[in-house]
Structure 1
Amino acid sequence: MADTPRPAPVSFPEFQPVSTEAWQERIHRNLKGTDPATLLWQTTEGFSVQPFYHREALEVLGALPSPLLPEPAAPDRSWRNVPVVRVAAQNSGHEAVDQARISLDRGADGVHFVFSDDASAFDVDYLHSFLPLDTTFIGYSVPHHPTSLLRRLLAASEELGGFLLTDPLIHHHNTELATHLPELRTVVKLTQHLPTFKALTIDASFFGNRGGTNTQQVGYALNVAAAYLQNLPNAELSVADVAATMQLHLAIGTSYFLEIAKLRAVRRLWATLLHAFNLPPSLAATLRIHTSTSSWLQTTLDPHTNLLRFTTEAMAAVLGGATSLTVAPFDSLYREPGEFSERLARNLSVILREESQLGRVTDPAAGSYYLETLTDTLAREGWALFQATEAKGGLPKAWGSALEELRTVSRQQFNRIATGEQVIVGTNRFTQPQEEFEFDPKKLLRSRDFDTTRATYPTEVLSLVTALHFRRQLQQNQRAAVVLLGQDANRTILDSFLKTLPTEEQAALPLADPPADTLSVLYSTPETATLMYATIEQYRALAREVSAPDSADLSVHLPTLLSSDVATMQAAVQRHGFHEFSVNGYNTDDMLARLQGKK
């Protein structure tokens, strides 16, 4: 109305600007003489973070980049809530489609079908009859022959929304990219007229879910994109055609601010990469980033703590500018998720959007001294890694060195978790010694679906086999077992055990590591347990003798638990040259009891 008074401008004249020097003086005073430099902390990325940032941080960066803008089709800065539905091999998918319908009715904005095979048996007509392909956002992860599924989808509907994830360069570590180019070109040709369907998803979550740093996720994602942009164009496909069908898939970890910065950095670098291919900024602005909560720090011990991790990861994803988000059910590591855990996973996005209103703000990190600095640093580090990898010939030629760098970083995290330097609540700190598992440890250890690539796997396996050993003693089980703990896992066990001892006793113990690249096992009988180590060949020979004589190519990861009568197992362990791993003054039972909190 005309007579409604205008609100007065908001100002805070009573708050005077505070200089950097004044902040430093206050910090020094509050620390009572302690050097403020002690507050610097080192990230896993390899760079330091200051204890505070001020306006000078933005001046160092120069002109700030433009804020993230919503997709042209999106009314706000919201994201799509996209739960995963798994489809078994040679399955019609009817049950999966029904599950997807329920999710969409109860708050999901789309669905991501993950196929364990080539989807040849998937009933596309059934899918289309309940979830119209032209109006439903659907992702499809297909490990083999994606064109067959795409053709059937397009036969059912002229329009598609969602994405396709196949990415042979990452999933197969393929040094012969040329063998996949014809099918990838077909995928692009079939979908290049579909503005809301991204058929070329770069699955950089592979690196994040195996312990890679944010720098590695960003840098290697750009290397994969560059490989496709260089090799896919031909007489029928331009570089712009290929770029327009691309999207990124990133895993989001628990390092809240670094994860926000990662998504912001990758958008900036995406524009830089496309500029190098003479593509316009408008094309870079259409980049879609699909995100998922990372499995790297997901745990089977005290699994409800996963809800806390996933909340942190989901918030980081949406504040960083993700366009779609998958939150894993908290119990997905050890069983088929049920209605309860799926509902919690689905509702996390709903709460962040509808109650926290996080979808109403465009790039909330813009202008933050700290986050702008982190974004710039990650962008520089990621671009440097990208250039270094390209100098080695790019991907797939440099796959060997990339995987070795990934392995080095993940091993460092294994060690930090074992020593307690990196805290995983419920696994290596604030544990439940008398935890009642919601699963059978023996079945889980033998399951081919048990994810062995996670940071907490060595610690979990030790806890599970310890619980299993003591359970066997109580039950007076008369069989013996050999449980594979992992490669070089005795170092992790030793570090974890030392942490339970007084500091002076740790220093006094004479220690000797087992040989490198040996497999660590626990030999358990009704009377006692013994930590041992063996070569891969020795373990395979024992496994063939007591469990799988026809498995010449027996994996060193599966089976994880071998069982036999005591006499047979004892003879096999001796015959195949397994060596005991011990700590002076402590037998294995003592070590396991301490590790489980029984002493």
Structure 2
Amino acid sequence: MADKINKTTSGVEIKEVYHQPTKQNNEKPGEFPFTRGIQKDMYRGRLWTMRQYAGFSTAEESNKRYHYLLQQGTTGLSVAFDLPTQIGYDSNHDMAEGEVGKVGVAIDSLEDMEILFDGIKLADITTSMTINATAATLLAMYIALAKKQGADLSQISGTIQNDILKEYAARGTYIYPPKPSMRLITDIFEYCSKELPKWNTISISGYHIREAGSTAVQELAFTLANGKAYLRAAIDKGLDINLFAQRLSFFFNCHNNFFEEIAKFRAARRIWANITKSLGATNSKAQQLRFHTQTGGSTLTAQQPQNNIVRVTNQALAAVLGGTQSLHTNGFDEALSLPTEEAAKIALRTQQIIAFETGVTQTVDPLAGSYFIESLTDELEKLAQTYIDRIDSMGGAVQAIENGFIQGEIAAAAYDYQKAVENGEQIIVGVNKYQEKESIKQDVFRVDDSIRKTQIEKIKLLKERRNQEAVTQKLADLKLAAKNNLNVMPFLLDAVEEYATLGEIADTFREVFGEY
């Protein structure tokens, strides 16, 4: 019988045994091209941020979960927003029906943001906000709240995802056409470089590309190609790559193929260092790829959900061995519902056990020099670079998305993976092997539809209390700024401080930019 060919999920053939590569790699951590990590001492100097993603229902309910996570030892907050907030509808809009507070927290105005962070000083924490089409508005609300708390804006730190290109390619929560959407992103780059110098203005996301069905190589290539498009857009706006590129960060997925994922992270740093250098970056901080990792939501199974604790542990360990700066671990019950408090706690404890009990933090890049890891890193770099070159030949990521190339590649990979699961070539324990007859006895977390009524009532009372004349004027100013190609951020800040709602602001932009 012929030997079975072993391959990674990206189709890289795995040899039976690896020997020392002919080119001996003597790279040092913290030095270009940063394959071995962006810091000389990595986790010996500072652990990754344990940033657990949370948000559901009303701002009041999410605020309770944030306080719970902070008490359990989480070291950074990460906000999930509901779908209406992500696509620019207030909770009282017809399009919001059935979706308010379901996959994240409902934020209709600055008032909700004040409740969300009640009892939490923004100067003392870092916050990541997973928001794209309405990122500028949510950031304006966060800045307005920081100002109300008396925080020094030059010291406020955190991240907005703000990565619209992957929305067109993989996720779908876009509002405006690509060009005005890119303009909003570069407005944020420009504004924050002056007003919020410690804020990460974009988290270029491979996570959703992978969740949509891409391979590890495609996740790597399409994410970095999108990153390259943002670099070019900012350079075209006249921004200095050595300054703004320091505030770019990335967001990667971590799936089950342990060694491929580690090699992916190492290759990502190397490719990005070379991309930034080729576009003129000479500052090492502008050449470094800093990234957050989330364990793979689409790898979790509703069957035998406790098995997911093992999957998440393996994925989290791969992310740490790959050199992540920040990590979210999924709850084991997330294939069934939003995570319960128990699942959220186990997920956080998983990170804490890796950090304090395994010893993997005691040396930098512990798998460096492994014949297999070094070979796999080189192979993933080569395959990803081939994709990036192909996208460049089309005119860049925006054009590759507009002509459907990236979406088509992801769809084909997702189809191939599903076929492999269905024919048993790809084994998923509990799904297509070692199945059990089971009934779902799991406590599942449900968000009640009645919270939409609560949010609608809040909006009604807000509109009765606020200065409507001032709101109308600030929205008119914002519309003019959008039309005349002025930086919209100062105008957004003025509007949210008068308690203009998220939907009113999104509608103002819709009038100028149109919808895609």
TM-score (structure 1 length as normaliser): 0.63
Inter-partner Cα distance in structure 2 for 1:401 and 1:236: 29
- The 3 A distance-change label for structure 1 pair 82 and 257 is same
CA contact (8 A) 2:189 2:234 kept: no
Task: State the secondary structure of the residue aligned to 2:305.
Answer: coil
1:55-94 CA deviation, whole Å, 9 max, x = no partner? Answer: 2x2x246654653242899762521111111244xx4x12
Matches within 5 A, 1:29-428: 38=3, 41-55=6-20, 57=21, 59-60=22-23, 63-64=26-27, 66=29, 67-70=36-39, 76=45, 78-88=47-57, 91=58, 93-116=59-82, 117-118=85-86, 119-121=107-109, 123-155=112-144, 156=146, 157=151, 158=153, 159-173=155-169, 176-193=177-194, 194=196, 196-234=198-236, 237-280=239-282, 282-284=284-286, 286-399=288-401, 400-428=404-432
The alpha-carbon deviation at position 134 of structure 1 amounts to: 1.8
- The 3 A distance-change label for structure 1 pair 278 and 94 is same
Inter-partner Cα distance in structure 2 for 1:419 and 1:72: 45
Inter-partner Cα distance in structure 1 for 2:439 and 2:4: 40
Q: Which has the higher strand share?
A: 1
Task: State the secondary structure of the residue aligned to 1:101.
Answer: helix
Match of 1:10 in 2: none
Greater relative contact order (Cα 8 A, min sep 6): structure 1 or 2? Answer: 2
Listed as ranges, the gaps of 5+ residues in structure 1 are 1-33, 444-599
Name the aligned partner's letter for residue 15 of structure 2. Q
1:301-336 CA deviation, whole Å, 9 max, x = no partner? Answer: 111111111111000000000111111111122223
1:513-551 CA deviation, whole Å, 9 max, x = no partner? Answer: xxxxxxxxxxxxxxxxxxxxxxxxxxxxxxxxxxxxxxx
Listed as ranges, the gaps of 5+ residues in structure 2 are 30-35, 87-106, 447-516
Taking only the aligned residue pairs, the percentage that are identical comes to: 24
Matches within 5 A, 1:476-555: none
The alpha-carbon deviation at position 285 of structure 1 amounts to: 5.2
Q: Which has the higher helix share?
A: 2
Given candidates 434, 438, 443, the residue that maps to 2:441 is 438
Inter-partner Cα distance in structure 2 for 1:263 and 1:216: 13
Inter-partner Cα distance in structure 1 for 2:411 and 2:288: 33
CA contact (8 A) 2:8 2:260 kept: no
Inter-partner Cα distance in structure 2 for 1:318 and 1:62: 21
Match of 2:477 in 1: none
- The 3 A distance-change label for structure 1 pair 196 and 104 is farther
Match of 1:533 in 2: none
1:319-376 CA deviation, whole Å, 9 max, x = no partner? Answer: 0001111111111222232121111111110000011132332111211111111111
The alpha-carbon deviation at position 281 of structure 1 amounts to: 5.3
- The 3 A distance-change label for structure 1 pair 71 and 97 is farther
Task: State the secondary structure of the residue aligned to 1:48.
Answer: coil
Count of equivalent residues: 402
Larger Rg: 1
CA contact (8 A) 1:252 1:294 kept: yes
The alpha-carbon deviation at position 192 of structure 1 amounts to: 2.1
- The 3 A distance-change label for structure 1 pair 113 and 62 is closer
CA contact (8 A) 2:273 2:288 kept: no
Inter-partner Cα distance in structure 2 for 1:121 and 1:438: 38
Inter-partner Cα distance in structure 2 for 1:360 and 1:124: 39
Task: State the secondary structure of the residue aligned to 2:429.
Answer: coil
After alignment, is 61-70 or 351-360 more displaced? 61-70
Task: State the secondary structure of the residue aligned to 1:162.
Answer: strand
Name the aligned partner's letter for residue 168 of structure 2. H
The alpha-carbon deviation at position 252 of structure 1 amounts to: 0.3
Inter-partner Cα distance in structure 2 for 1:396 and 1:270: 18
RMSD: 2.7
